[in-house]
Amino acid sequence: MRENDHSVKGTGLILGIESSCDETAAAVVRAGDEALSNIVASQMNLHANYGGVVPELASREHLRNVVPVVRAAMERAGVSFEDLDAIAVTEGPGLAGALLVGITYAKALSFGAGKPLIGVNHLEGHIHAVLMEARQHGGVQMELPLLALVVSGGHTHLYLAEQQAEGAWRYRNVGRTVDDAAGEAYDKVAKLLGLGYPGGPWIDVLARRGDPLAVPFRFGPIKTRTDRQESSIEGKAAIGNSAGRTNFDFSFSGIKTAVLRYIETHGMREAVEARRRALAEHPEWDPHSEEAVALCDRQTLDLIASFQHAVVGNLLRQSFAAAEAFGARGIVVSGGVAANSELRRRFQAEADKRGLPVAFPSLALSTDNAAMIAAAAWPKFMAREFADETLGATPQLRLGAV
């Protein structure tokens, strides 16, 4: 697509559209900084009945929601399609059918309104949600390079982020989970304990009532792909971290199994089932309600607190170790799990101790939204990184080189 094909108005206004998972979202953001609107239609209640996101249902809901959500975002911002400089959309990673709804609609709008189209990586969006807010509030000054922890239901990644001379951002993926994402572990453990969905907010709130040191969960060394290759070449068992190489990867499937084993060996199964039944009968009970808390005995609350303490400790250790190893001048935490209160408290305390700035998104921007997509699109717009009509959904889209 050639630049002069478009009517760029110089308003700095970008419409962002996000549909990668279970939220249909649209937002209008000016110059990557000022969100004029930020509309999110969540499907959480729909998927809660199934204990996880059902891809076919998600696509259908996006289809139903995308037009009214975009219309609401434009109305709330008080702008017309004519006023926009570009239309940005999440191209991946995410659910193929869900992504396609947003992409197809964004392409149609781009074509119809004669505005450039910008494809945005969802994970880059999460990082820019924080940077946008840090700039807006003029609070924490983030210097480059940054270490970004993106931690959600689908991802647990560490990126080293830098801005190029022409304004575009470049990323290096320096750590990743080798199995479950941290949010996935929260959701699975909550399910094992008969708590509601999504599990993160339940565990976050209930953990405040338990003893975080009651159950000593431990994270061992992680076998990387290279470790496994080396061990098969050498014909001996891999032992995790190879000497001389630092490993910033994560693994959360082990702690989930450890929680399951704890439930079984401590005779907690019946209590879990009773809790599951009670919560199914009372969908109005949330983790803050006294009725929900009353369903959890001391042993359960201690298990919940210990699980969270271990997960947050692991995220914290890996993030700060990577920041130190790569000379990062600040840490940015984003994604759904960045809403976690213990995580925020402990990251802030560690950052203060080291004199390293740390930034989180507001709660509204920590879950999936489109303001972050429009914000991440701004440097691409300035660098004229436009997509053409071949833009498609890339469910496994990666961010940055490894």
- Residues in the site for Zn ion, rule: CB under 5 A? 152, 368
Cα–Cα distance for residue pair 362/134, rounded to 1 Å: 10
- Among residues 38, 47, 48, 44, which one has the least CA distance to residue 73? 38
Cβ-based nearer residue to ligand KG4, 65 or 152? 152
Longest dimension (CA), the chain: 69
Q: How far is the CB of 226 from ligand KG4 (least distance, A)?
A: 27
Q: How far is the CB of 294 from ligand KG4 (least distance, A)?
A: 21
Query: Could you write out the DSSP letters of every residue in 178-213?
Result: SS--HHHHHHHHHHHTT--SSHHHHHHHHHTTS-TT
From the list ligand KG4, Zn ion, none, pick the one residue 212 interacts with, judged by a Cβ distance below 5 to 8 Å according to partner type. none
Strand order in the sheet with 117-121: 34-42, 23-30, 13-18, 86-92, 117-121
Cβ-based nearer residue to Zn ion, 187 or 368? 368
Residues 6 or more apart in contact with residue 259 via CB below 8 angstroms: 189, 192, 193, 303, 307
288 CB burial (10 A radius; 0-12, 13-18, 19+): exposed
From the list ligand KG4, Zn ion, none, pick the one residue 210 interacts with, judged by a Cβ distance below 5 to 8 Å according to partner type. none
Task: Name the 3-class secondary structure at 332.
Answer: strand
Cβ-based nearer residue to ligand KG4, 186 or 320? 186
Instruction: Indicate the helix (H) or strand (E) that contains 359.
Output: strand 358-359
Cβ-based nearer residue to ligand KG4, 198 or 400? 198
142 within 8 A of 334, measured Cβ to Cβ: no
CA atoms within 13 A on the CB side of 233: 6
Cα–Cα distance for residue pair 206/34, rounded to 1 Å: 35
Cβ-based nearer residue to Zn ion, 157 or 275? 157
Q: How far is the CB of 146 from ligand KG4 (least distance, A)?
A: 19
Q: How far is the CB of 122 from ligand KG4 (least distance, A)?
A: 7
From the list ligand KG4, Zn ion, none, pick the one residue 153 interacts with, judged by a Cβ distance below 5 to 8 Å according to partner type. ligand KG4
Instruction: Indicate the helix (H) or strand (E) that contains 174.
Output: strand 169-176
Q: How far is the CB of 155 from Zn ion (least distance, A)?
A: 7
From the list ligand KG4, Zn ion, none, pick the one residue 200 interacts with, judged by a Cβ distance below 5 to 8 Å according to partner type. ligand KG4
From the list Zn ion, ligand KG4, none, pick the one residue 119 interacts with, judged by a Cβ distance below 5 to 8 Å according to partner type. none
Tokens at 332, concatenated = 């940015």
The region that residue 355 occupies, defined by phi over 0 for left and psi between -120 and 50 for alpha, beta otherwise, is left
Cβ-based nearer residue to Zn ion, 152 or 247? 152
Tokens at 23, concatenated = 């939220």
Cα–Cα distance for residue pair 220/183, rounded to 1 Å: 19
From the list ligand KG4, Zn ion, none, pick the one residue 204 interacts with, judged by a Cβ distance below 5 to 8 Å according to partner type. ligand KG4
Cis peptide before 145 (omega within 30 of 0): yes
Cβ-based nearer residue to ligand KG4, 180 or 227? 180
Positions in the binding site for ligand KG4 (CB under 6 A): 21, 152-154, 183, 186-187, 198-201, 204, 335-337, 339-340, 367-368
Q: Count other Cβ atoms within 10 Å, centred on residue 21.
A: 25
From the list ligand KG4, Zn ion, none, pick the one residue 357 interacts with, judged by a Cβ distance below 5 to 8 Å according to partner type. none
Cβ-based nearer residue to Zn ion, 302 or 368? 368
Cβ-based nearer residue to ligand KG4, 204 or 227? 204
From the list ligand KG4, Zn ion, none, pick the one residue 199 interacts with, judged by a Cβ distance below 5 to 8 Å according to partner type. ligand KG4
Q: How far is the CB of 106 from ligand KG4 (least distance, A)?
A: 19
From the list ligand KG4, Zn ion, none, pick the one residue 360 interacts with, judged by a Cβ distance below 5 to 8 Å according to partner type. none
Q: How far is the CB of 123 from Zn ion (least distance, A)?
A: 8
Q: How far is the CB of 26 from Zn ion (least distance, A)?
A: 15
Q: How far is the CB of 342 from ligand KG4 (least distance, A)?
A: 8
CA angle 93, 96, 97 (to 5 degrees): 140
Q: How many helices (H) and strands (E) does the chain have?
A: 14, 10
